[in-house]
Amino acid sequence: MKKLTSQNMIEMRNLSKFYERKIALSSLSFSIKKGERVALIGPSGAGKTTLLNTFATLIKPDEGELTLAGIPASKLTNRKELAKKVGMIRQQFDLVGQLPVIHNVLAGRLADWGFFKSLWSLIIPQEKQAAREALEKVGLADKITEQTSKLSGGEQQRVALARLLLQKPEIILADEPVASLDPARAEDILFMLTKLTQEENQTLITSLHSVEYARKYFTRIIAIKNGKLFFDLPVHEVTDPILVELYSLEELELHES
Ligand code: ADP
C-alpha cells in the first residue's frame, strides 16, 4: 500500500458559514494530515458541530474552500464515494433501536451495496463474518443478535464504532461521542476509537467538552471560539492559562448575566 503520511486529508481556506443573525464559522483556514488525531474544543456555540457537519458535507459553507481527501467537498455528491471518504459518529448514536445489533453494524456497508441488497440484508444478514469480526474488535461478539435498544449507552456507541469498521472511511468525524456516557465508559470509547483509527491510519476529528480527554487521547488540539480559530497546537503545547482564556466569558456576557 502507498504510504501517504503527509497527505492532507482536510484542507480549508477562509471557510465561513453564516446564519441569519450569526456568524457560525468565520474565515477558518487549516489543514489536517492523514493519521492525525485532532480534538476540537471550545465553549458551547463556538461552531464545533457546524464545522464537523461541514466536513461531513451536511452543511455547505457560504465562503471559502474545503477539500476532503484531495477532492473539493462540493464535488463529493455521490453517496458511495462520500461514505469512503467520511464517516461520522455522534452523541446520539443514530442506530436503529428496533433492529438487531448485526443490522446496525452492516449499515456501514449500505453505501457499497445499493438499495435492494441493503433491504435484503435486513432479512438475511450478509457479510455476517465481517460484522462478527468488527463486533469482536469492540468487545461485543456476544451481542450480535440482541435488539440494539436493549444495550447500554456505552455498548451502543461500540456498535456505532463497529459500523465504522465496516464502512472504513478515510476520515472519521465524531461529534461529542462520549457526552452522554459516564467517565469510565467515556474513556473506554475514546480509547477504542483512537486505537482503531490508529490501526487503520485513519484521520480522526472529535469534538469534546472535556479538555482532559482531549489531552489524553489526541495529538493536536484545535480550539474555536465565536466561530474563529482560537488556537491550533500540538497537545503538549496547550497550557492551562490559554484554556482558561478559551472558556472565559466575554465581558458582554458577564454584564448580561
Ligand atoms: P458548538 O457545536 O460549538 O456548540 P454549533 O456549531 O452548534 O456550536 O453552533 C455555532 C453557532 O451557530 C451557535 O451560535 C448556534 O446558535 C448557531 N447555529 C447553529 N446551527 C444553526 C441553525 N441551523 N440556524 C441558526 N443558527 C445556528
In a domain, 29, yes or no: yes
Ligand 1: does its nearest atom lie under 6 Å from the Cβ of 157? Answer: no
For residue 6, being part of any structural domain is answered with: no
Answer yes or no: are the C-beta atoms of 49 and 210 closer than 8 Å. no
Handedness of CA 131, 169, 35, 224 (dihedral sign): negative
Domain for residue 176, yes or no?
yes
Residue 8 lies in a domain: no
For residue 118, how many other CB atoms are within 10 A of its CB? 17
Burial class (CB in 10 A: 0-12, 13-18, 19+), 249: exposed
| Ligand 1 pocket test, candidate residues 19, 90, 247, most atoms within 8 A of CB | 19
pLDDT for res 95: 87
Examine residue 5 and state whether it is found in any structural domain, yes or no. no
Bridge partners (DSSP) listed for residue 68: 10, 71
> What does the pLDDT read at residue 5?
45
C-alpha cell belonging to residue 122: 435486513
Total count of domains within the chain = 1
CA of 45 relative to ligand 1 center, distance in Å:
5
Other residues' Cβ atoms within 10 Å of the Cβ of residue 77: 9
Which domain range does residue 212 map to?
21-256
In the reported structure, the alpha carbon of residue 42 is separated from the centroid of ligand 1 by a whole-number distance in angstroms of 13
Per-residue pLDDT of 25-58, as tens digits, reads: 999 999 999 999 999 999 999 999 999 999 999 9
> Closest residue (by CA) to atom 6 of ligand 1?
47
Q: Which atom of ligand 1 is nearest to the CA of 53?
A: 6
Residue 4: inside a domain: no
- pLDDT on residue 256: 47
The domain spanning residue 135 has which CATH number? 3.40.50.300
Q: Is residue 7 part of a domain?
A: no
Answer yes or no: is 168 within a domain: yes
Whole-prediction pTM value? 0.89
Residue numbers in the chain where pLDDT is lower than 70: 1-6, 93, 111-126, 250-257
- Helix ranges, 73-219 (H): 79-85, 101-106, 110-113, 115-121, 128-137, 153-167, 183-199, 211-217
Q: How many C-beta neighbours within 10 Å does residue 44 have? A: 8
C-alpha cell of 71? Answer: 477532492
Q: Is there an atom of ligand 1 within 6 Å of 46 CB?
A: yes
